[in-house]
Amino acid sequence: MTSTPTVAVLGLGAMGLPMAARLAETLPVRGFDIAPARLALAQESGVVPADSAMDAVSVAQVVLVAVRDAAQLNDVLFGSAGIAGSLPAGAVVVLTSTVGTDGVAEVAAALAEKGIGLVDAPLSGGPVRARQGDLLIVVGADPSALAIARPVLEALASTLTIVGERAGDGQALKTVNQLLCGVHIAAAAEALALADRLGLDLDRTLDALQAGAAASFMLGNRGPRMLQAWDEDGAEVLSRLDIFVKDMGIVGAAARRVGLPAPLAAAAEQSYLVAQTQGLGAADDSAVIRIAAPTRRS
């Protein structure tokens, strides 16, 4: 393994493509996507297109995968078209998604039997920050696997935090992070809905709140989009609401597994679930304000 490992990026969607393009500035990158248009865009950014996922990973030292849950991770690695059998010995798989802690240690053990490492590295930041190498990444991994993946992670992250030496530690910290984020967004939505019903100027309200003890990143970031969420076209989709349906489900499952009551997380999860049943799953997560108040005060 070298300080300039060959990287395979599987899935060139909203996050995969900007990450692949960022990495291609300094590293050899192979990419695969089932959509030819995405492959063409990646090629324009210096990514070498592959004919299949197995072809993409066959010469890679580091493979980035993004999946929805642990079951999908198992399928990508060990299913009928799984890539584990095509990976060179000594390669590492970097799990960039938030899938929860269930099953991650077992996946790491199964890969280790094949001489392959698993770097548990859920990330945050969105497509723009991915292209700029400005992501926030938390990592749980064996030090030897981390050493191989580090040049890739450092090219993508402005904040890289190593939280433990076990696959699953990254997922654990990301679960805690998502509890706070999910509750903060839901609380900000209720606060701004209340301000609206009390007849306050919402722009001034946001300014005042952000200048005091009630300030938070989520209030400052989502607050302006929440005001747009009441418009006919809604806010620009920067983070889909159904992502928090998934993530707050992961939070709830983790809390139940360790016997921890988490009533605030449960209440926030219900807000996102209600929003999803009302057809807002594909909307920006700021649209959760429409659960507290469907429309802005006239």
Q: Could you say which of 129, 131, 174, 246 is catalytic?
A: 174
Q: Contacts by 162-167 with C-beta closer than 8 Å and gap 24+? A: 163/138, 163/139, 164/140, 165/140, 165/141, 166/105, 166/108, 166/120, 166/140, 166/141, 166/142, 167/95, 167/104, 167/105, 167/107, 167/108, 167/118, 167/119, 167/120, 167/140, 167/141, 167/142
Q: Nearest CA to 182 among 98, 298, 66, 96? A: 98
What is the C-alpha separation between 170 and 173, in angstroms, rounded? 5
* DSSP state letter for 298: -
* DSSP state letter for 29: E
Q: Nearest CA to 223 among 212, 234, 207? A: 207
Q: 174 catalytic, yes or no?
A: yes
Positions marked active-site: 174
